[in-house]
Amino acid sequence: MRLYAETAECEQRADILAANYTDLHGTQKPDPTPINRIKSEDGANDLIRSEAMRPYLKLMMKGMVDEAAVEPELAEIAKLPLEQRYVWRIASALKWGFADFDDVNVAVDRETLTQEDLRKVAELIRYRPAQIALFLKALLGDEYMEAVMTNAIKSAKAND
């Protein structure tokens, strides 16, 4: 458990980000950020420019100009097979990422990683819980998201 205490700083930063994140989605309106100042993750630009995202980008761009005129773009997306949908990319990435999940192996890595490597991993996953919650909410609604996330927390705590 030597490195476990060293993640406290990462957790504190995550708490601060979570508080700010909530504010951004509450009644406060964030200041507009120029597009050239928005940072994205490695690989995000490749994904957004991929052929699979083209129908979604067309929908976004047209919706920014005239929300009422997006029917052709919605129809194009509706014709896509499940395996070519945005939600499938996310769901299948989660499936493959956790297909052989074993918390014992995670604990072994936690104990054997350098502090710098542990910090890199913590940074890499920092936003994932909120992203998964937002994904569930957008796909299946508030109640489903809350039930799944609450169940996941209870299950993780009971696994000690």
Domain locations along the chain: 4-39+82-126, 40-80
Give the whole-angstrom CA distance, residue 153 versus residue 147: 10
Give the whole-angstrom CA distance, residue 15 versus residue 156: 19
What string of pLDDT tens digits covers the 160 residues of the chain?
Answer: 333 333 444 444 444 444 444 444 455 555 666 656 666 777 777 777 788 888 888 888 888 777 778 888 999 999 999 999 999 999 999 999 999 999 999 999 999 999 999 999 999 999 999 999 999 999 999 999 999 999 999 999 998 7
Q: Taking a C-beta distance cutoff of 8 angstroms, is the pair 145, 136 a contact?
A: yes
Question: What per-residue confidence (pLDDT) applies to 38?
Answer: 65
Question: In 3D, which of 51, 125, 116, 133 has the Cα closest to residue 86?
Answer: 51
Question: What per-residue confidence (pLDDT) applies to 17?
Answer: 44
Question: What per-residue confidence (pLDDT) applies to 48?
Answer: 78
Question: What per-residue confidence (pLDDT) applies to 11?
Answer: 46
